Amino acid sequence: MSRLLLVVVAVTWLISGCGAGASDGPERPDYTPVPDHKLISQVAALPGVERADLSYNDAWPEHSYIATITLSSDADAQLVLDTIYAKLWQGRPGAGILVEAQQNGSVVRLDAFGGKPTTRIALEKRYGPQPGSGTPPTD
């Protein structure tokens, strides 16, 4: 009888999320994310953005904002890209951000991340906890 009781308690404990390391995870934000359609409009309207194809990929394991951006030839590519990342950081909790940008036919990348993939840790280090202000930090 005591073995059955132990099993029932253990299963209940696991299901309730009371186990060590359990968390609410990114599915339960303590803020209301900016809706995707609003983020897409904000990015497309940024000065220096000529064209923005942006969507949210909800297919596992991606769960990412994916953007293909064309920048005007006179745009400050680093400022525009930094602003795009800061804007998207206001969106869905835990979402990855994958931005491919071109300017004058050449690929440009955000130097703020040192050319490394933009992990959630790197995004939080740069833009603070979600949802962020939508403004890149001053360096």
User: Which tens digit of pLDDT belongs to each residue from 78-136?
Assistant: 999 999 999 999 999 988 899 999 999 999 999 988 767 778 888 999 999 988 899 99
Q: What is the dihedral of CA 109, 111, 114, 119, to 10 degrees?
A: -60
| Domain contains 1 | no
Q: Which residue range is the domain that position 93 belongs to?
A: 33-127
The mean pLDDT value of the chain amounts to 83
pTM summary value: 0.77
| Domain contains 4 | no
Identity of residue 38? K
**Collapsed DSSP state (helix, strand, coil) of residue 49:** strand
What is the count of structural domains for the chain?
Answer: 1
Instruction: Give the span between the Cα atoms of 67 and 45, in whole angstroms.
Output: 14
Q: What is the mean pLDDT of residues 9-23?
A: 47
State yes or no: cis peptide before 61, omega within 30 of 0: yes
Name residue, tokens 């000529």. 50
Report the pLDDT value the prediction gives residue 104, as an integer from 0 to 100. 97
| Domain contains 56 | yes
